[in-house]
Every structure is written in structure tokens, then in C-alpha cells.
Amino acid sequence: MQRKLRLSLRNSEIWLFILLFACIGMAKAAAPNPAAPTFRVVALAEAGGIHQPFVEAAKVWLNREAVEHNFTVDYIQNTDKIDDAFLSHYQLFIQLNYPPYNWTPTAAAAFIKYIEAGRGGWIGFHHATLLGEFDGFKMWPWFSDFMGGIRFKDYIPSFADGTVTVEDTSHPVMNGVTTPFVIKHEEWYTWDKSPRPNVHVLATVDENTYSPDTKIKMGGDHPVIWTNEHYKARNIYIFMGHHPDLFENTAFATIFRNSIFWAAHQDVAP
């Protein structure tokens, strides 16, 4: 009798284990699988220097956006990894203040193909128009043409507040942006000429609103956000990008977010 009871208990235990594993399997099957990322982004981020706080704030902001809107971001701090195969994994290339010089020849060639063939989109910030002879490097002519044929001339080292006006309110990058808006404490660049004849200008800064006032000005037409429609890749240059406080500016954050989705050929995020 005791032997039969022990066998009966063992059989019950076996069936309980079977039932438990079956329930676990059903729960796993019923649980939704996390969606695959919609697209992939690579950000070439300037390392160190005075722009490091902006770059670090941008990473925090981008990582949060990636989680919320289901895309991925990988970060690199130099161009050593960049070639055709590397770029083939990404639908968007973000130049986080990395300048247009000191790229490896392989990286430069791959990037040109990426942009000219429209293999992915591009967003550049601030330092991306530091075009000229810097740190012993010659100016990159192709990149100058990409940015509208400009060359860096000067900047406001003491910084100034400035009012930015959106020119093309219908462009997807400007969706939900209130115009005009103020950008505080920026080191507004000047170039040897306005890129306007060669690009589609989306926004300009009114130099008459600089506070404090300064003699360092373009002299009227001063684009600060534009896209070059002569290239297959969707591209946006955003001059602002010096201080981490920019991510507390609703207009700036909205423009950045819209640019990500537009340049990557995705629906603009709500």
C-alpha cells in the first residue's frame, strides 16, 4: 500500500512538472516579441574639447529617442572603421560636431558614395562646417560643395543669443516648430559667403538680434539650417551645437528629432 502511494505521488509530481513547463511554454509563445529596430543610426562624435558637453548630452538624448521610437544608435569617435561595408549597416549618419578633416582616405571615399548614391541620410551639426585649413589639414573641397560651397571665416568667441526664423515652415524638419525661436549663448559662425545659392535654406539667424551685439557678422543673409538637394541622400545641416543646454530648447530638440526621421526616410515621429 505504501509503495502504491509513493508511486502515485511520484506520478502526480511528474504531471505537475509537465503542466508547469507547458504553462511556461504557452506564456512565452503568447508574450509579444520585441519589434526589430526600424532603422540604424551611426553617430560620428567629436571626442574631447570644448564640445564634449554637447556631445555627451546628445548621446543621452539620442539614446532616449532610440528607445522611445525603436531605432538603434552606434557611436564612433574617429573614421577608422568607416568603409562601404560599415556604412551599409546604417540608414542614417549623424556628424556630432566632428569636423570635415582628418578622415581616412577610405572613410572619405565611402562617405562620398553614401551621400551621392543616397545609401543613407545625413545630419551634421556645428563643427561640420569648419571648412578650411585646420590642424595641418587642407580643406576638403567635396565637403565644401556639399555644404553649399562655403569656407569658414570667423566665429563669436564670446557667444551671443540670437533669434532664428524658419523660412520653410512646410518642410517636414520644421513640423511643430514655433517660429521665431531664440538660441542662447551660441558662437555663431560666419562663412566667406552665404550657401543660399547652392542649398535650400530652412532657417536663418537675424544678426540684428545678437545679444550682446558684435561686429562678427555675415552682413545680412545668415542661413543656419539647410539641406542640399543636389545630392541623393536626404541631408540636413544644423549650425547650432555648442552647448548641452540646447536639448532644453524645444525648437532645437524638435528639429533634431524631425531631422532623424526625415533623413532616414521614416515617418516623422509624433
pLDDT digits (tens, 9 = 90+) for 15-62: 444 343 444 344 433 433 456 779 999 999 988 788 899 999 999 999
Mean pLDDT of the chain: 89
Whether the Cβ atoms of residue 264 and residue 76 lie closer than 8 Å to each other: no
CATH topology of domain 40-263: Rossmann fold (3.40.50)
- pLDDT of 215 > 60? The answer is yes
Q: What is the pLDDT of residue 137?
A: 95
Per-residue pLDDT, averaged over 151-177, amounts to: 97
The DSSP call for residue 246 is G
Q: What is the pLDDT of residues 125-144, one digit of tens each?
A: 999 999 999 999 999 999 99
Whether the Cβ atoms of residue 51 and residue 99 lie closer than 8 Å to each other: no
The predicted model scores a pTM of: 0.86
Local confidence band at 5 (pLDDT 50, 70, 90 cut-offs): very low
- pLDDT of 178 > 90? The answer is yes
Q: What is the pLDDT of residue 270?
A: 54
Distance CA 111, CA 95 (A): 11
- pLDDT of 109 > 50? The answer is yes
Whether the Cβ atoms of residue 108 and residue 138 lie closer than 8 Å to each other: no
Whether the Cβ atoms of residue 138 and residue 103 lie closer than 8 Å to each other: no
- pLDDT of 251 > 60? The answer is yes
Domain positions in the chain are 40-263
Q: What is the pLDDT of residues 183-197, one digit of tens each?
A: 999 999 999 999 999
Q: Which residues of the chain form beta strands (DSSP E)?
A: 40-45, 72-76, 92-96, 121-125, 152-155, 160-166, 181-186, 189-191, 200-211, 223-227, 235-238
Q: What is the pLDDT of residue 142?
A: 98
